[in-house]
Amino acid sequence: MKIIKRILRKNTKPYHHTPLTEPTESELKLFEKYFSSSVAGKTNPRVMIIGASPELRDIVAKMKLRATVVAQNFEIIKRASSLMKRKGKKETWLQGDLTKLPLREKHYDIIISDTVTFADLLKKNYLKRLRELLKKNGSVILRAMVLRKNEKKLETNIKNFFRILDKGNPRGDVFKDYFSIYLLRRKR
């Protein structure tokens, strides 16, 4: 048992994406493009990041903005922080299920999220909660993990709460048919 624990400690990174979920360079450029256009003209925009993704937190830090980071536990956020290339302004960390946390409605200008599953996006309470948290002209940028055959169903569900302003899937690897990045605007 001691040998197994030693091997696991030696070969386990503190936080990592799998090759399937790690954002590619082209996906990060698209995230950054969408994020830049969403904050343009806004003074001190309120940003929420769903998940601990160091790559998305780096995008926000690069623009020297504050962010609220929501994840299932603090340990994941802490470990992912060690992989950030930039140390941003102060982040507020929240632990728990986004749909159950007592957060102020119409408070955020931008919500950004990486690797949201098809199952989560089909839950009306998840999309409804995102809409509730956004200000009137707020934006959501999310990377959805969904098979192409299910995209129409997903987009129909999204359109109940948001306008789809743009969608891209710039991955060039074997997983390109599983991911799309959406830029959404809150419906009034």
Q: What percent of the chain has pLDDT over 70?
A: 84
Asked whether the predicted pLDDT for residue 164 surpasses 90, the reply is yes
Element housing 27 (H / E) = helix 25-39
What pTM did the predictor assign?
0.84
Q: Please tell me the distance from the alpha carbon of residue 108 to that of residue 63, in angstroms, as a whole number.
A: 16
Q: Please tell me the distance from the alpha carbon of residue 54 to that of residue 86, in angstroms, as a whole number.
A: 9
What kind of fold does domain 2-186 have according to CATH? Answer: Rossmann fold (3.40.50)
End-to-end CA distance of the chain: 57
Q: pLDDT per residue over 102-111, tens digit each?
A: 999 999 999 9
Find, among 142, 122, 75, 72, the residue nearest to 100 by Cα. Answer: 72
Q: Please tell me the distance from the alpha carbon of residue 132 to that of residue 65, in angstroms, as a whole number.
A: 22
Structural contact between residues 162 and 140, judged by C-beta atoms closer than 8 angstroms: yes
CA-angle at 130, arms to 64 and 73, nearest 5°: 70
Q: pLDDT per residue over 66-125, tens digit each?
A: 999 999 888 888 888 888 888 766 899 999 989 999 999 999 999 999 877 777 777 778
Structural contact between residues 181 and 158, judged by C-beta atoms closer than 8 angstroms: no
Angle between helices 54-62 and 74-81 (to 10 degrees): 60
Distances in whole angstroms, Cα of residue 156 to Cα of each of 81, 124, 180:
35, 11, 15
Structural contact between residues 34 and 166, judged by C-beta atoms closer than 8 angstroms: yes
Tally Cβ neighbours within 10 Å of residue 130: 26
